[in-house]
């Protein structure tokens, strides 16, 4: 399960992710993180059965946590199956099926948005 974690780094600059790993013992996979002097956003992947525990612990440490049910989605009425997204994606979300139709493995998506810009047909949409 993927979680989007937002935290402010105002006071004390708590190492939230490290602390959650220590307190819960859950091994967190950080897929993507943007952290500057005042705030941070991290996309983390945790085992489904421990998702609630991680979320609650993070919230208790002052972070905002959203469970991400969906990755990037494809508007099939706009897609022309060119495949421009395939080589752009760092996580191999996209591939061709045997009929050269674009297929998408949503679970692999880390919502980086690179494909959205690269799609000539505006057929890829990130969840809000």
Give whichever of 19 and 103 is closer to other proteins, judged by the CB atom. 103
If DSSP states are collapsed to H, E and C, what string results for 109-125?
CCCCCHHHHHCCCCCEE
Query: How many CB atoms lie under 10 A from the CB of residue 59?
Result: 12
DSSP 56-87: HHHHHTT-EEEEE----EE-TTT-----HHHH
Q: Tell me the C-alpha to C-alpha distance, in Å, between residue 110 and each of 42, 48, 73, 77.
A: 10, 16, 12, 24
Which region among 32-40, 49-57, 105-113, 120-128 touches other proteins (by CB under 8 A)? 120-128
Using the rule CB under 8 A, is 53 a contact of other proteins? no
Give whichever of 25 and 98 is closer to other proteins, judged by the CB atom. 98
Give whichever of 13 and 101 is closer to other proteins, judged by the CB atom. 101
Give whichever of 38 and 87 is closer to other proteins, judged by the CB atom. 87
Using the rule CB under 8 A, is 100 a contact of other proteins? yes
For the CB of residue 108, give the shortest distance to other proteins in the complex, in Å. 14
The site for other proteins (CB under 8 A) is made up of 80-88, 95-96, 99-101, 114, 117-118, 120-122
């Amino acid at each position: 399960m993927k979680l989007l974690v937002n935290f402010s780094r105002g006071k004390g600059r708590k190492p939230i992710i490290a602390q959650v790993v220590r307190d819960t013992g859950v091994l967190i996979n950080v897929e993507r993180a943007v952290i500057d002097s005042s705030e941070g956003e991290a996309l983390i992947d945790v085992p489904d059965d421990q998702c609630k525990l991680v979320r609650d612990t993070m919230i208790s440490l002052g972070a905002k946590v959203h469970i991400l049910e969906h990755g990037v989605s494809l508007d099939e009425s706009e897609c022309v199956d060119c495949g421009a997204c395939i080589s752009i994606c760092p996580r191999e979300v996209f591939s061709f099926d045997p009929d050269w139709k674009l297929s998408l493995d949503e679970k692999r998506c880390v919502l980086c948005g690179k494909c959205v810009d690269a799609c000539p047909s505006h057929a890829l949409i990130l969840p809000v």
